[in-house]
Structure 1
Amino acid sequence: MNSATNIVWHDTSVSQQDRHQLNNQTSAVLWFTGLSGSGKSTIANAVEKKLFELGKHTYLLDGDNVRHGLNQDLGFSDTDRVENIRRIGEVAKLFVDAGTLTLSAFISPFRQDRDSIRANIEHGQFIEVFVDTPLAVCESRDPKGLYKKARAGAIADFTGITSEYEAPLHPEIQLQTDQFSVEQCADQVVTYLENHGYLKGPSLAL
């Protein structure tokens, strides 16, 4: 909740639609959610590369990267996780207003937090991408050794082990990384964007 007073939102002369027209695309946030080790960042990176090669304006917000700066003051308690995602939601909203196809790769374990971000962004500009990888597969990958530490009790509040992950109920895109390659999953995302008009300017967007 905003406790500041005497503040007013200032509309700018250049609109989001103007930016869409200039960039020949319709902006949105692709919100990649899933367990640690599910492949969120890897797939989001592959999607951004494909979009960049198509000449699209993109930016990737990665969970670890953001915690190096904007959210370095936050831990991993449930309260801090909620604030972490709230901040990222506000940043993503600004990028979407700037006309950018924004990719966000965060565990974001709580359904209510993801739904709040969706509600705070214009209809059709929040695309939930569920990187649906079974816990056993994520744990077998364990690229950072985090599951091993969590099982040993060295990490508290670890999603999937000692903290709950609430899977999306109706994601726009569902990627099954235990069945398809990174390339195939990235292609699935780009195809969705093509089929729904995001890779065209506003006069042609669906």
Structure 2
Amino acid sequence: MTSNIVWHEHGVDKQRRAELLKQQPRVFWFTGLSGSGKSTIANLLEQKLVEQGKHTYLLDGDNVRHGLCGDLGFSAKDRVENIRRISEVTKLFTDAGTIVITAFISPYRTDREFCRKLLDDGEFVEVFIDTPIEVCEQRDPKGLYKKARSGDIKDFTGIDSEYQAPRNPEIHVKYSDQSPEQTALALYEQLVSKGYV
């Protein structure tokens, strides 16, 4: 970063924007293996929050790679950069007073902690969608596990690239037997009971 760039303070701050929206800015950071159900549950959660009058925005891994991160591959270096960019975007959204829901594999703990450190205390809520890899492979909605097993995809998380599960997530969701709707409702109730929404 050049030394000629100076942060410009504005007259309207995050607190004022949050007051207008009548909510506490927050980031619900969904992490889990491919096929774990992150995007499905995140989508259902956003619908529930909007029904409750909340101002939200959902950032999904595949969607972001169509634009903001369209120039990145899936090497370890590119995965880190992908999450760095997303983290900076979530910071902007929380500054706007918004509740942000993200659905990214985000396999490395240090990358998830990078986002946490960008935000104010209590704003980052790690949501671990804990689905056994066997279940993820059975679902395989995009056929990615099959391609990874056959060698057509390299560096696939959970197969030949490491996934570092959260050690102490704020929310731990075990998702395999319940329906997506039941899981999303149980998650919402946890968020309410813990005062996150």
Considering the TM-score relative to the shorter chain, is it more than 0.5? Answer: yes
In the TM superposition, residue 181 of structure 1 has moved relative to its aligned partner by 2.3
Which position in structure 1 is the counterpart of 2:120? 122
In the TM superposition, residue 198 of structure 1 has moved relative to its aligned partner by 4.0
Is structure 2 residue 160 aligned with structure 1 residue 162? yes
2-structure distance, mates of 1:7, 1:98:
22
Which position in structure 2 is the counterpart of 1:171? 169
In the TM superposition, residue 179 of structure 1 has moved relative to its aligned partner by 3.4
TM-score by length of 1: 0.92
Which position in structure 1 is the counterpart of 2:50? 52
1:109 aligned residue (81, 87, 107): 107
In the TM superposition, residue 90 of structure 1 has moved relative to its aligned partner by 0.3
1:27 aligned residue (11, 25, 28): 25
Which position in structure 1 is the counterpart of 2:142? 144
2-structure distance, mates of 1:185, 1:27:
23
2-structure distance, mates of 1:191, 1:100:
20
TM-score by length of 2: 0.96
SS in 2 for 1:11: coil
- Asked if the contact 1:20–1:99 (Cα under 8 Å) also holds between the matched residues in 2, the reply is yes
Distance verdict in 2 for CA 1:196–1:23, change over 3 Å: farther
**Residue-by-residue CA offset, 1:25-70 (whole Å, 9 max, x unaligned):** 1011100000000000000000000011111100000000000000
SS in 2 for 1:113: helix
Using the aligned pairs only, state the percent identity: 62
1-structure distance, mates of 2:174, 2:110:
23
2-structure distance, mates of 1:161, 1:90:
29
Please tell me the residue identity of whatever aligns with 2:111. D
Which position in structure 1 is the counterpart of 2:12? 14
SS in 1 for 2:166: coil
Structure 1 residue ranges without an equivalent (≥5) = 200-206
SS in 2 for 1:56: coil
**Residue-by-residue CA offset, 1:85-135 (whole Å, 9 max, x unaligned):** 000000011101110010000000001110111111111000000000000
Moved over 6 A (4+): none
- Asked if the contact 1:27–1:198 (Cα under 8 Å) also holds between the matched residues in 2, the reply is no
- Asked if the contact 1:132–1:176 (Cα under 8 Å) also holds between the matched residues in 2, the reply is yes
2-structure distance, mates of 1:103, 1:91:
12
- Asked if the contact 1:37–1:138 (Cα under 8 Å) also holds between the matched residues in 2, the reply is yes
* RMSD over aligned Cα atoms: 1.1
- Asked if the contact 1:29–1:102 (Cα under 8 Å) also holds between the matched residues in 2, the reply is yes
Structure 2 residue ranges without an equivalent (≥5) = none
In the TM superposition, residue 18 of structure 1 has moved relative to its aligned partner by 1.1
